[in-house]
Structure 1
């Protein structure tokens, strides 16, 4: 499953809103609902208490006016009730329930019998009533004289819509406040998500997307809160572990391929070596016979010159064939190494001495160089001199007249070896892998057997080393023979 296919699910921000903010808003709404209901009750009670306060304020003057029969005092007291607070109507009844004074636009629908009963009981009562289609709140207060006898009843009213309008305003304000709180909560969560999680998580997702596209070297930047940093560090550690595992697997695969190739090459070389040794053995004796007879004929003093020239050509051809036979024998032999301690400069000088005649004939300068005192190691001197001689002969043949061939020895902490460089045309890079195959040669037909480098490579491997080809500073070929240190220099 790719990273982008996961986008069909809920994002972390939406999940936070659904599973955190939404429940909080619901809890807030339920709490607000019950709080508002309680507030409405408190508001209604407070407004009722306002009516009761007004009733208590005008009760005394009304009782005094009723006891002394002062109608003007009644009217003045009723008018003062409207100045004290928001009162819809004020009504005064006698003990029998008959209205004796009133002030207000509408009269509530209350029967005189009910009023008489209220006056007789002497209880203070409040409640909602219908006054010609309008809901009003009525509060009844009994009136008495100076000796405590019930003399009448006071009724104060207030419009029900006053309560309703106020409660409606409270509801609207509560709804606005709840909405603002919800929006504020959503905004805080979104902002906090972006600052703390969103951008850091987006960076991690972007990092994983780059890795998914093939950028295996890319790593996440550890930033943000501690948990996000731990996540980035953990992801980087996982990627490093995967990279190491892949590198190990790749290295094992390469080693396996190399071992298989070496096994196949060894089997191939062994088969070719057996064939070469058999062919060389079968050719060796006849060639020796031909060479011996040609030598005896050339020793005769009375041999005509044309015939002597023919026998000379036969001798030269046989010598070339014997050289090829020796190379076949060298390639096919599986003799164990005869190790002895030798200095690298001595090996180089011995090999150079054997090819100096060819170098002089072609006017090629042969230069030897390396650190002194030269490193010493345990080595099969005969086979190593043969390797160096083959490399030097190839270099001399590839160099133009007047050129130069360098033989250098070197050593470091773990390895030592030789380098043979020439200033010839070099070897095309596409031929580097085939150059050490038996019977492969870049020389014209008749000028090489293709066994010299194969023999050199086999000798290097027998010593636990390797022979490689590159390009010299002058553009020619550079052969490097690397051996592991052994003996007193290890």
Structure 2
């Protein structure tokens, strides 16, 4: 069952588009809300100014009428009603009501005659009666519609006859506002789509070079595969490409230095192994030399018959062949050369390596056994380095076992390769040392008895061949080293 995807699983382009889209959405919504609010304020202010202008212009005529009525120059009520009827009949004023209140709040004129004589005591009416200048308030009609109530005093100097109140419907304002909102929303949607398209294009423009460079990095299979396509760019992608190329350069230098150190360690360990083999090599050479010396002395002592001479010369030739073979084996092992990978007969390599330690085996009376499984596949390896690994393991095993001990060497076909084993019944390895035995210069032997490089060099050689090396050991119960190396690709290239 697949787990839920987290934000970290999303691609950089998806994150960029989502983040940009959300940001644009927030910005567009904020801008839309501000534009709607501004449009509302503009329309409300426009209606407010229109209402104030209308009411204040009517107030002049209403004030004159009330003054003339008080002076009994006009008949009371008729002219006020006429003015109210004319004002209500004007098109486009949005008037809902128009009334005149006396100082106590009683209706003395109203467009709705049923309101005549009523006294208004609500909060809006009280504030209107108390206002000394034109006052604009929000109010609601009896049917719940929102209104704009504009009130202005009907007064001359300190003389006040009442208050003129006019109620303006906000329906046209709301309709205009709704139309404006639709236009703003349409503009906002267009702006959002355009911005989203730009975000996608910008994301592609910014991230495609990065994706292209990532693909180049993915195809980089070696330290010499330096990506050059983006190095010449002058932006951050180019800087990243140059830093990546510089990093590969530093890695190449470090790898070369590591290889030099590894080669030096290998040479040091090989020389140390030759030193440990010196006594055995001398024995292998001295034995045939002693036989040859005996034959030469016998020939010099008299005049043997031709048959005896041929026999002595044959023995001398055989001894020279043994010496030549021993020297050739030692030179092949000691010779420094480039790594050459080729199909290798593992069984033959093991046999030749065991021959190099024959003297040490005989001197300690060690039981050395070689067990080879039939039909061993060849492996692709450097024969000299493989022999060095086996020799290092053999010399360590011979150092670990007592006299009359035993060392078992074997090789068998394993899944996809060959497993070689070197087992002994020696002193074993302490558990706390098992994790360090492949470290350079680590040794449990006494001073002067080892360089501490043998297993480290062997580990590096096995790793370079694509194999693995491990150990099973217990203090006092011996050790078993296992080396696994891959077979040649077809697994049948020559059989041992």
Q: TM-score, normalised by structure 1?
A: 0.47
The structure number with the bigger radius of gyration is 1
Q: TM-score, normalised by structure 2?
A: 0.47
Q: Higher relative contact order by CA 8 Å / sep ≥ 6: 1 or 2?
A: 2
